[in-house]
Structure 1
């Protein structure tokens, strides 16, 4: 089972086993990871699951959709490695993925 490391804004690391096919957001919510609010439940319509993908992993992810790109325009403190965690589906190839949460979502 792939593992994802979530780094909360306070620096706390949480390593979570994620079922293949689940999103990074779903795994965070299911495991009570602080910092991912996920108000829309993964519909790519609220941007409250914003994360920063570790630079070593950015190129391994699928490209951002137009919807995700539009939603990222509304996040606090966007960066080039900003993504919506609801749009990152976990595969075996993403075993070891590292994401960090911003200080605030909204």
Structure 2
């Protein structure tokens, strides 16, 4: 099972085993990781599951589709190339070791 590291804005780390096939957002939700609110439940209709990919992972995570890119316009302090919505990242074995950092807040 892939391990995902979620880093809160204050630096607190949560290392979680997330089953293949779930999303990074579902892994956070199912393990009570604070900082990912996921108000829309994964429908890509808000930006409350926004994170920053660790620089080592930017090229390893599949690119965002146009709908996700549009929703990122509503995220708190998005960073081009690093910002992603965790509801849109499906967990695969290739994502074992993924590190994501939460913004200061979700809006």
> TM-score by structure 2 length?
0.97
Structure 2: stretches of 5+ with no match in the other structure: none
Q: Distance in 2 between matches of 1:51 and 1:40?
A: 16
Q: Distance in 2 between matches of 1:26 and 1:72?
A: 18
Equivalent in the alignment of 1:90: 91
Q: Distance in 2 between matches of 1:60 and 1:70?
A: 21
RMSD value over aligned CA atoms?
0.5
> TM-score by structure 1 length?
0.98
| Number of equivalences | 106
Q: Secondary structure at the match of 2:35?
A: coil
4+ residue runs over 3 A deviation: none
Equivalent in the alignment of 1:56: 56
Per-residue Cα deviation, 1:38-82 (whole angstroms, up to 9, x for no partner): 000000001100000001111111111111000001111110200
Equivalent in the alignment of 2:39: 39
Structure 1: stretches of 5+ with no match in the other structure: none
Equivalent in the alignment of 2:26: 26
